[in-house]
Chain A
């Protein structure tokens, strides 16, 4: 898992440096462009390529309200299978995140790069299927196999999660109206509907859920296009 993160990081890193060089040669117009920016999170297909137990798609979008303030959101769907010693399960579902992005970067005239501080409210609707588990037995006298594979998996439908998240990110304009973005997200779970005699261990959009800790983390790497509407 760690190897995957490191590789991914190197990939992102190169992307950022490359993006920067492009931006510096951008045209020098003085107007601020307003429009709807729509994009896709590229980290999800990359993760699918690396991790065969993961499927995901996320669309991102924002709309510029003022010079530095945007309405922003993400819409996605994720399926993740986790096969650990203690539990073997699959979570599948959709999520939506809505909120604002605030740009704290002061651009040179004509440039439109962003350093974004964002705030979101996230909501998921998902199902979780228990495929197998381990019985914790500290006394090994009988030397039993404590691993249980469920011949009929237990499916729990109608689960959900609510959370808030803080996003920190960069967006760089590679070509006119084409942006590459990178953001990290820190989530805090507010409440969730757990399956009976089980727990939400993964929530689409939220990622891994820890047992005694409401915090989680995620990242995305977006390519988006701004549909220009008007200029000021």
Chain B
């Protein structure tokens, strides 16, 4: 009987003592960023790079991005219903600054015990400062942002 007791204790230890703890893997898709792709205003189906684009969230000092690009994904504020970004294009040492407000509703959906919930955004709309500086047009491709598979917003310049 004693032999069994030892075996039993080891079995319990193996089974219960090392119960796996769920870990939220770093690659788990969380709250999606807003994907913006820049297009040529003259040829609306052709991507066009913005030379020296600086993107900074209004209220923050650090720029989110600062280099030439033709597409980018930017985070929206999860706890609020709007996010304002400054899109600054620097061309030949001349600064063209424009601020864009993204407005939206949101909902939370469950991922897992370890990861919690993620936010998705709905009814996404855009508001711009009155005068167009370098952006010609902003088109919303999809007003629901629940993943980062496709373009959400198209900016023509």
A20-B2, A197-B110, A210-B22 given as contacts; is B17 within 8 A of A137 (CB)? Answer: no
CB-CB under 8 A from B31, the residues of chain A are 135-139
A9 to B14, CA, bound (A): 11
Query: Hey, what's the 0/1 contact readout for A51-88 against B, CB within 8 Å counting as 1?
Result: 00000000000000000000000000000000011110
A12 in contact (CB, < 8 A): yes
Minimal beta-carbon separation of B109 from chain A (angstroms): 6
The answer on a CB contact under 8 Å between A136 and B11 is: no
CB-CB under 8 A from B15, the residues of chain A are 184, 186, 217
A211 in contact (CB, < 8 A): yes
The answer on a CB contact under 8 Å between B118 and A136 is: yes
Minimal beta-carbon separation of B155 from chain A (angstroms): 19
Interface size of A by Cβ–Cβ distance < 8 Å?
45
The answer on a CB contact under 8 Å between A9 and B13 is: yes
Question: Which applies to chain B's interface (DSSP): helix, strand, loop or mixed?
Answer: mixed
A217 to B14, CA, bound (A): 11
The answer on a CB contact under 8 Å between A184 and B116 is: no
A164 in contact (CB, < 8 A): no
- B115's nearest neighbour on chain A, judged by CB, is A136
The answer on a CB contact under 8 Å between B12 and A139 is: no
The answer on a CB contact under 8 Å between A136 and B5 is: no
Minimal beta-carbon separation of A76 from chain B (angstroms): 18
Minimal beta-carbon separation of A193 from chain B (angstroms): 15
Binding site for B on A (CB under 8 A): 2, 5-6, 9, 12-13, 16-17, 20, 23, 84-87, 113, 115, 133-139, 141-142, 144-146, 148, 168, 170, 172, 182, 184, 186, 197-199, 201, 208, 210-211, 217-219
9 A-B residue contacts at CB 8 Å?
A2-B17, A17-B2, A136-B28, A136-B115, A136-B118, A138-B31, A139-B31, A197-B108, A197-B110
Question: Which 8 A-B residue pairs are closest in the complex by CB-CB distance?
Answer: A136-B30, A86-B116, A134-B116, A139-B75, A137-B31, A16-B5, A211-B112, A138-B30
